[in-house]
Every structure is written in structure tokens, then in C-alpha cells.
């Protein structure tokens, strides 16, 4: 049975030796060179491996978003103000931005399976220690350290996921790994928040640590044993920084995705001040947003695997339109919820751009894949900052939607440049 599964998985990736690889095949070719399925006894179905990798995304999603919702509680226990406690969230984001490229470069000669296990082990340790933090400064350091594996884990996990399927299923495979993150925003975060409020915020970090350890075990059990590439090196990974198509793809995400964060960050405030909704409905709307993200990562990859760049451009225009509707939709709870769901669908841009980076990164797959999450954390900083400036200037809470639409359109401008150059260069 295992031989049949292994055979079915290899056949779509095989090609005659004398047939040249197209540009879009470089990522899978690189992955094929690292994965030796013939030497894997009892190889598992790709779906099981994708589920194992998605569990890591689930743990990371809870760690990132539940911390925001539990901020008042650990601020009180650590005897600091809420704005000061917010620095712990910024420290985590900084860890993501720093850790993604550094780990990808320094681990160039490690096997991906070993690296994934190590990253989740470290993530479990740092989150477990965060739950034991005795004071503010210790918490700050631990949240920075906890953020380091975030981007590298997602980048490597998605490369592994894509390597297990045919070329025309790569985006769907990437989307399945990201489902862990989107489901965390829908189900995991509210549950962790409830646990944190019922028995203490420290237990929320304990849950994250447990999920991360579970991920490490699942990867150990199910992920294929890959072979370290003898030609890999930190310098080869750094070659990604010399590719203009890598930078353009990252720029699309860093700007175009900022609109979603502009609205999400101030959604609760908008509901209370503009929609005049009950505070009890805020978690419901946040779940609706998570449902939109999840649906997007299920639906959009089917289109992206047929026309990758066109799908990215379409998502940017979709986001611009749904974000522009936000000021009108915010006047009523039901229209707001519908629009928030539609905005969430646009979050599939992350999945599409991840696959695009596989096509343009050449031999520097790990660094490019990890940098995608640095780009999205840049968007996570840019969107709320510009949205907050608009609110502070007196334009109201709903102005975050117009700021978001502007960022989505800015991302579309970058996309038009990238698409034109891609057509010219044939990539």
C-alpha cells in the first residue's frame, strides 16, 4: 500500500531527462532533489503531512493573535500599562522579521525535516517560558525569541508541502498549510482567550507550547526524510536578494496586504463606536473574518494554480473594492459582517504570493519563502500605523477602510510592474 502511495506521488513530478524545466518548475525540481521518496519506508499520503504542517500554523496563529486579546490580563499581572504591554506584541513581530531571513540563511545545509522539528521545539520552549514570565522585561525578551521561528517555519513548511504534489496543485498545498493559521483566527483564538480569562492568561501560552510540541512529534512521525543538498550554502540562499522578481513579489505583499490589517486592527473599535454593536458581538465578527480567511485559502488556490499572477492581481482589486465598501457597511452589523467576510477572502493573497516566490527564487528557495512572512509582518505594521494616523487626524474609525483600499491599490501598482517584467523576462 505504501509503495502505491509513493508511486502515485512521484509520477506527477517526474519528467524525461532530456526535457528542460520551465521557470515555474524550479521550486519543485529543487524540492525533488532534496526528497528521496524511494528511500522512505511506509511513505504517508501528502494530506497527512499537510495536516501535520498545518498544526504548526494553528499553534503560531494562536500565539500571535491570542496574545493581543489577552493583553489587558497580562498587563495587570505584570503591573504595567496596556500600551506598555503592547510592546510584547511588537517584540514578537520584530522576532518574525529578523528570524525569517537569518534562520533561512544559517540553516541552508540542514534537512528541512530536521529544521521544522527544531523550529517547533524552540517555539514550544519560548512560549512555555512566556507563560512563566515573572516581569515585563523577561516577557519582552521571550516574545522576541518566540517570534524568531515563525517566518522560517511557514516558509520551509510550504516548500515541503508543495514538493509532495504535482505542479498544478502547489498553491492548494500551500493553502492547506495556511489553513492552520486561518482556523486559529476562527476557533483557536477565541478558545485560548476563553481559557485565559477563565483560569489565567499563562495557560494560553501553555496551550500554544503543547500544540507546538505536538507539531514537532507529527513532523517527526510523518514528514518524509529529505536529503540535505550538498550544494546548499548561506551564500546561495542570499542570491535571492539579487533577484528583482523576488523583491517585487515581496513588495506586493508588504503594501497590498496592509489594507486588511488596517481594518482588522480597529474592527472592534469601529463596531462599538460606529456600528453601536454589543461588545458580545465583537468575537462573533472576528470569527466571521477568520471564516473568510479560511474560505479564501480553500477556494482561491484552484484559480491560482491555473493563472498565478492574474489571480494575485484580481485579489488586490477585490481587496480594494471590499475595503472601499467598509465605511458604508460599518453602519449596520449584518452588512459589516458580510463585508468583513469578503475582506477576509482577500487574505488568500499570502498563499498566492508564496507560490510565486517558489517560481522566481531560483536556488534560494528557503530564504525567499521565509521572507514572504517578513513582508506580511511589514504589512501588519504599515496598515495599522496608517489607519491609526487617519483616525487620529479626525477622519473617523471607518477611514481605515479607505486607507486599506489605498494600500491594496498601491499593491496593485506594484503588481502591474511585476507582471509586465515577468512577461518580458518569461518568468
Average pLDDT by consecutive 10-residue portion of the chain (427 residues)?
41 39 46 43 76 95 80 84 79 87 86 95 96 93 94 91 90 90 83 79 92 96 81 71 88 93 86 89 87 92 92 97 97 96 94 90 81 85 88 92 96 96 89
Domains delineated in the chain: 25-232 (1.20.1250.20), 239-427 (1.20.1250.20)
Residue 58, C-alpha cell as written in the block? 494553528
CA distance 41 to 44: 9
Cβ neighbourhood burial of 272 (10 Å; 0-12, 13-18, 19+): middle
The whole-number pLDDT of residue 201 equals 87
The whole-number pLDDT of residue 34 equals 46
The whole-number pLDDT of residue 230 equals 65
Asked if 59 and 211 touch (Cβ cutoff 8 Å), the reply is yes
Tell me the backbone φ, ψ of residue 35, rounded to 5 degrees. -100, 120
The whole-number pLDDT of residue 43 equals 62
Question: Bridge partners of 211?
Answer: none
Residue 384, C-alpha cell as written in the block? 495599522
This model's pTM is above 0.85: no
CA neighbours closer than 13 Å in the CB half-sphere of residue 87 = 12
CA distance 171 to 373: 16
Helical segments of 243-391, H only: 244-256, 258-265, 267-270, 282-304, 308-324, 326-329, 333-345, 349-360, 365-390
Please give the C-alpha separations between residue 206 and each of 87, 145, 253, 295, in angstroms, as whole numbers: 21, 16, 32, 29
3-state class of 227 per DSSP? Answer: coil
Amino acid at each position: 500500500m505504501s509503495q502505491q502511495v509513493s508511486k502515485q506521488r512521484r509520477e506527477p513530478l517526474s519528467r524525461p531527462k532530456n526535457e528542460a524545466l520551465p521557470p515555474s518548475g524550479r521550486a519543485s525540481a529543487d524540492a525533488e532533489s532534496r526528497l528521496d521518496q524511494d528511500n522512505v519506508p511506509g511513505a504517508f499520503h501528502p494530506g497527512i503531512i499537510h495536516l501535520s504542517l498545518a498544526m504548526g500554523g494553528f499553534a503560531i496563529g494562536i500565539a500571535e493573535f491570542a496574545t493581543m486579546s489577552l493583553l489587558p490580563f497580562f498587563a495587570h499581572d505584570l503591573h504595567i500599562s496596556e500600551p506598555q504591554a503592547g510592546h510584547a506584541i511588537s517584540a514578537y513581530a520584530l522576532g518574525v522579521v529578523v528570524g525569517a531571513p537569518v534562520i533561512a540563511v544559517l540553516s541552508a545545509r540542514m534537512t528541512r525535516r530536521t529544521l521544522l522539528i527544531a523550529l517547533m521545539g524552540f517555539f514550544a520552549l519560548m512560549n512555555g517560558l512566556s507563560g512563566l514570565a515573572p516581569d515585563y522585561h523577561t516577557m519582552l525578551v521571550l516574545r522576541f525569541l518566540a517570534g524568531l521561528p515563525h517566518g522560517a517555519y511557514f516558509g520551509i513548511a510550504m516548500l515541503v508541502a508543495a514538493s509532495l504534489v504535482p505542479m498544478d496543485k502547489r498553491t492548494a498545498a500551500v493553502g492547506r498549510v495556511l489553513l492552520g493559521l486561518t482556523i486559529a483566527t476562527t476557533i483557536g483564538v477565541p478558545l485560548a482567550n476563553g481559557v485565559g480569562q477563565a483560569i489565567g492568561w499563562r495557560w494560553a501560552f501553555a496551550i500554544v507550547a503543547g500544540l507546538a510540541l505536538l507539531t514537532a512529534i507529527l513532523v517527526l512521525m510523518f514528514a518524509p526524510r529529505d536529503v540535505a543538498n550538498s550544494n546548499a550554502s548561506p551564500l546561495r540562499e542570499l542570491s535571492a536578494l539579487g533577484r528583482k522578481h523576488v523583491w517585487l513579489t515581496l513588495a506586493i505583499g508588504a503594501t497590498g496586504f496592509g489594507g486588511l490589517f488596517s481594518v482588522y486592527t480597529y474592527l472592534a473599535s469601529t463596531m462599538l463606536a460606529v456600528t453601536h454593536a454589543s461588545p458580545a458581538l465583537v468575537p462573533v465578527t472576528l470569527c466571521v473574518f477568520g471564516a473568510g480567511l479560511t474560505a479564501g485559502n480553500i477556494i482561491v488556490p484552484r484559480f491560482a494554480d491555473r493563472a498565478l499572477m492574474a489571480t494575485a492581481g484580481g485579489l488586490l482589486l477585490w481587496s480594494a473594492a471590499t475595503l472601499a465598501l467598509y465605511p458604508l457597511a460599518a453602519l449596520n452589523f449584518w452588512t459589516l459582517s458580510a463585508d468583513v467576510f469578503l475582506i477576509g477572502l482577500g487574505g488568500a493573497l499570502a498563499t498566492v504570493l508564496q507560490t510565486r516566490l517558489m517560481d522566481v527564487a531560483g536556488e534560494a528557495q528557503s530564504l525567499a519563502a521565509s521572507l514572504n512572512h517578513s513582508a506580511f509582518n511589514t504589512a501588519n505594521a504599515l496598515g495599522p500605523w496608517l489607519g491609526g494616523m487617519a483616525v487620529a487626524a479626525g477622519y473617523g474609525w471607518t477611514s481605515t477602510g479607505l486607507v486599506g483600499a489605498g494600500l491594496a491599490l498601491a499593491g496593485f501598482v506594484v503588481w502591474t510592474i511585476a507582471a509586465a517584467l515577468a512577461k518580458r523576462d518569461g518568468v
